[in-house]
Amino acid sequence: MNLRRDVFQAIADPTRRAILVLVATQSMTAGAIAANFDTARPTVSKHLQILTECELLEQKQNGREVHYHTNAKKMKEIADFIEPFRQMWDDRFNKLEDIMKNYKPSK
Amino acid sequence: MEQKTKIDAENGKQEIVITREFDLPVELLFKAYVEPEIVAQWMGTKVLKLENKKHGSYAFETSDNKGNVAFVASGVIHEFVPEEKITRTFEMENTPFAAQLEFLTFEKLSNDRSKLTMHVIYKSVGLRDQILSLPFAQGINMAHNRLQNIVTQLK
């Protein structure tokens, strides 16, 4: 892979964002992460490689197992940058959904 | 857990794609974009004008939490196909930000589920990144920020 890796490229993919949210709560092995997705295992491995290359994830040897955990400092970079914008739309769309679920045609 | 609203903002590009699936029939999702009273409620804005037709125009007035007018957003509608798509420009008046082009696509997933895709194109990469960082810079976002909370707990 000769592509330049950085955090914004990493989070452009929904699966990778989902992996970050998952691993943020506890360190996990590649197998345990892959078990949460319908995606093929090699695809998940590829995502883990990209997330590790851009330092959002870090690997730690734990006996015979390798655990992935998030790098808080790098995570903060993306959280600071785009998350409030996403959250703003998420709040609006949640409101839209609530309003329309209770919507009754006026006639 | 997957987040409901997703944003694809590839680095170095002057566009973003916002996607969201709703537990709503596509008719109701679309209605939320065309009925002025409903738009006002979920966008948290005053709808000054909303002409739902090709070559129509719209204007929204947003106030800060003290009731002062923060900005007027307006644009023209280029395409309007009920329950399918809206193509429009969006501009925050009296700001240094150039107009953006928005392609809104409404999709039926099932009888009671639908998907919205909002493809937004900005004048430049720099402008895109500036607008994406606005809610953070202005502290508009008062809501719970899950990712940031997790990060804080890790420290």
Tens of pLDDT, residue by residue, chain A (107 residues): 334 456 766 776 778 877 887 887 788 999 999 998 888 999 999 999 999 998 889 999 989 999 999 887 777 666 666 777 888 899 999 999 999 999 977 64
Please report which confidence band the pLDDT of residue B63 belongs to, taking 50, 70 and 90 as the band edges: confident
Task: Quote the tokens at residue B118.
Answer: 């909002």
Is residue A99 situated within a structural domain? no
8-state DSSP, B99: P
- Residues of chain B with Cβ-Cβ distance to A24 below 8 Å are 147, 150-151, 154
Residue B151: which of A14, A76, A86 has the nearest Cβ?
A76
C-alpha angle A16-B117-B110 in degrees, rounded to nearest 5: 95
pLDDT tens-digit readout, B74-86? 999 999 999 999 9
In order of A64, A87, B18, B143, the CA distances from A100 in angstroms are: 52, 20, 20, 21
Chain Cα centroid distance, residue A50: 12
Q: Where are the domains of chain B?
A: 5-154
Is residue A107 situated within a structural domain? no
| Cα B44 from Cα B31, distance rounded (Å) | 16
Query: Looking at the whole model, is its pTM more than 0.90?
Result: no
Domain count, chain A: 1
What Rg do the C-alpha atoms of chain A give, in angstroms? 18
In the block, which residue shows the tokens 């914004």? Answer: A8
| Cα B36 from Cα B59, distance rounded (Å) | 11
State which residues form the domain around A32: 7-82
What DSSP letter does each residue of chain A carry, written as one string? Answer: --SPP-HHHHTTSHHHHHHHHHHHHS-EEHHHHHTT-SS-HHHHHHHHHHHHHTTSEEEEEETTEEEEEE-HHHHHHHHHHTHHHHHHHHHHHHHHHHHHHT-----
| Cα B50 from Cα B74, distance rounded (Å) | 9
Chosen for mutation from A74, A89, A95, A104 (greatest number of chain B CBs closer than 10 Å) is: A89
Is the torsion defined by CA of A69, B17, B120, B30 positive or negative?
negative
Is residue A77 situated within a structural domain? yes
In order of A17, A60, A76, B12, B65, the CA distances from B131 in angstroms are: 21, 37, 19, 14, 20
Percent of chain B at pLDDT exceeding 90? 61
- Residues of chain A with Cβ-Cβ distance to B35 below 8 Å are none
The CATH number that applies at residue A17 is 1.10.10.10
Q: Which CATH superfamily is domain B5-154 in?
A: START domain (3.30.530.20)
